[in-house]
Amino acid sequence: MATATLSTQIQPRTPQGGFANEPFFNFKTPENARAMKAALDQVASQLGREYDLIIGGRSLKTDGKIRSFNPARPEQVVGVHQKAGAEHAEQAMTAALTAFESWSRTSTDERVSLLLNAAHIIRERKLEFCAWLTYEVGKNWAEADADVAETIDFLEFYAREALRLAAATTPIQYPGERNRLLYIPLGVGAVIPPWNFPFAIMAGMTAASIVTGNTVILKPSSDSPTIAARFVEVLEEAGIPGGVVNFCPGSGATFGNAIVQHPKTRFIAFTGSKAVGLDIHELAAKTQPGQIWIKRTILEMGGKDSILVCADADLDAAVDGVVAAAFGFSGQKCSACSRAIVEAPLYDVFVERVREKVAALTVGDPATNPNLGPVINKSALDSMLGYIETGKKEGRLVAGGSAPQTPEGGYLLQPTVFADIAPDAVLAQEEIFGPVLAIIKVNSYEEGLAVANNTEYGLTGAIYTEDRARLEHASREFHVGNLYLNRKCTGAMVGAHPFGGFNMSGTDSKAGGPDYLYLFTQAKSVAEALRGADPR
């Protein structure tokens, strides 16, 4: 990894105009489809490469290895990675602390330029990164494109937000003083991203950390370390100094816990399951010998997300929204719709229309761009099949319910729909994180809203109704961090939909919003008496 300063690497970039979301590709255009196929061929020739740990700008090899596989073709190795153990935690911390001494004092403009340089590099190679996502986590072309676009959005948005934060002022200037409000970095942070948005969330948490002057120990998911490694290479190309981001794939139980518990760790940014998030929160809360601060946890965890369909809803829009939100990326999103709560007058026709639409969905190898690719691994598939067996006891199987067999042994699962599920059933309460939708009948809007609020989670939700009073009421009383009116509950856009949830869905971190960078800083008030001023 580069150890020189940013300015010696490439010409620094500065924001040009305001923020705008990165546009998506239209893969129905033959030219774009051909370009994506060429990118898949290009990346295919690079599969199986070995990647090193990067600590303090140095490459390290270990005896233990982590191998990531293509979930559509489990025999195909995507990347071979060194496995950081507890013994590497001190090395990584030392490197990050050393880099913090200079990086925390680097100008905001220079840190912003790093993010913009990285965004430019990724933008120039968008389809290549889409292909990596297709191979390593099974995203079809549109889902991969959305992940890459969101990565660029995070880099561009947080760069501009860092400039805004650097220009912050106190609400007033007290007479006789010069008053300043500085947002200074925290220190060394552990960034622990998930496998389901392995580019956008990983890059977003990392970018927010470093643009505010912190340094990072990055421990990617063992299911998607290659995409993280490719991002670290982008940062190197963009000119990041050694030690600012230390790339350390490893086990959560060994390396991950060692970093979370380390007395010099200042914050932990995590996205993943409720169980792991709560464990991190508990470990971080215990003060270690030599620790002089309260560790900050920035947690985005699970969801059991509902779409409430009222009797007066636009049926076509509601069906389309529920199916897209339930089965996009095979339901492997914390924001996915796993419960459709439908008023009785519309219930039967809604169930039938969903059945028809789901029957038209295709499942297969995402390299060929079906609607649904594989789920992430065999353990996940087995868990989902277990929930399907439970669903057969709790309700009526409307669609799907089985795992298609392929010569390649991919972890495929049909989009599955159950009707007549009770609000307190297992399928209505537990996060499945797969393509399984439960449909619940209610007799009124009021009953539907109560059902929507009856889980321990509070991440996303949506309501379809033409009643303005209900939309306003739901805006107040539908208890989720991201609520959508007359649209699906997935697809949060950076800048427009700050993302993060309530209750067991996490700390309401609001990624991609104007409050997010505050989580990676601490505010320092500086008051200077002006000469000749009244000392009172």
Domain check: are 219 and 350 in the same one? no
Q: Is residue 533 situated within a structural domain? A: no
How far is residue 117 from each of residues 9, 28, 120, 197, 255, measured CA to CA in Å?
Answer: 10, 30, 5, 21, 31
CB 461, CB 438: distance < 8 Å: no
Q: Is residue 124 situated within a structural domain? A: yes
Residue 1 in this model has a pLDDT that exceeds 70: no
Domain check: are 227 and 326 in the same one? no
Domain check: are 264 and 390 in the same one? no
Residue 334 annotated as catalytic: yes
Spatial distance between the Cα atoms of 98 and 100, rounded to a whole number of angstroms: 5
Residue 242 CA from chain centroid, whole number: 25
Q: Which of 302, 352, 357, 326 is nearest to 435 (CA)?
A: 326
Residue 2 in this model has a pLDDT that exceeds 70: no
Q: Is residue 367 situated within a structural domain? A: yes
Domain check: are 231 and 315 in the same one? no
CB 460, CB 451: distance < 8 Å: no
- How high is the pLDDT of residue 532? 76
Domain check: are 295 and 320 in the same one? no
Q: Is residue 402 situated within a structural domain? A: yes
Point out the catalytic residue in the list 334, 337, 431, 489.
Answer: 334
Domain check: are 258 and 365 in the same one? no
Domain check: are 405 and 477 in the same one? yes
Q: Is residue 23 situated within a structural domain? A: no
Q: Tens digits of per-residue pLDDT, 342-370? A: 999 999 999 999 999 999 999 999 999 99
Domain check: are 319 and 260 in the same one? no
Question: What is the 8-class DSSP label of residue 244?
Answer: S
**Token representation of residue 511:** 């990624």
Residue 9 in this model has a pLDDT that exceeds 60: no
Mean per-residue pLDDT, 322-339: 98
How far is residue 126 from each of residues 41, 145, 150, 512, measured CA to CA in Å?
Answer: 14, 8, 11, 20
Domain check: are 339 and 284 in the same one? no
Residue 409 in this model has a pLDDT that exceeds 70: yes
Count: domains in the chain: 2
Q: Tens digits of per-residue pLDDT, 461-494? A: 999 999 999 999 999 999 999 999 999 999 999 9
**Token representation of residue 457:** 């989670």
Give the domain CATH number at 420: 3.40.309.10
Question: What is the 8-class DSSP label of residue 24?
Answer: P
Residue 382 in this model has a pLDDT that exceeds 50: yes
Residue 3 in this model has a pLDDT that exceeds 60: no
Point out the catalytic residue in the list 150, 156, 236, 300.
Answer: 300
Residue 514 in this model has a pLDDT that exceeds 90: yes
Per the listing, tokens 């061929």 go with 41
534 band by pLDDT with thresholds 50, 70 and 90: low
Question: What is the 8-class DSSP label of residue 459?
Answer: S
Per the listing, tokens 């993280």 go with 228
Q: Is residue 531 situated within a structural domain? A: no
Domain check: are 166 and 230 in the same one? yes
Give the domain CATH number at 230: 3.40.605.10
Domain check: are 322 and 287 in the same one? no
Domain check: are 207 and 312 in the same one? no
Residue 150 annotated as catalytic: no
Domain that holds residue 345: 305-494
Q: Is residue 142 situated within a structural domain? A: yes
In our burial notation (b when 16+ CB lie closer than 10 A, e otherwise), range 194-207 reads bbbbbbbbbbbbbb
Q: What is the DSSP string of 393-436?
A: HHSEEEE--S----TT-------EEEES--TTSHHHHS---SSE
Q: Is residue 500 situated within a structural domain? A: no
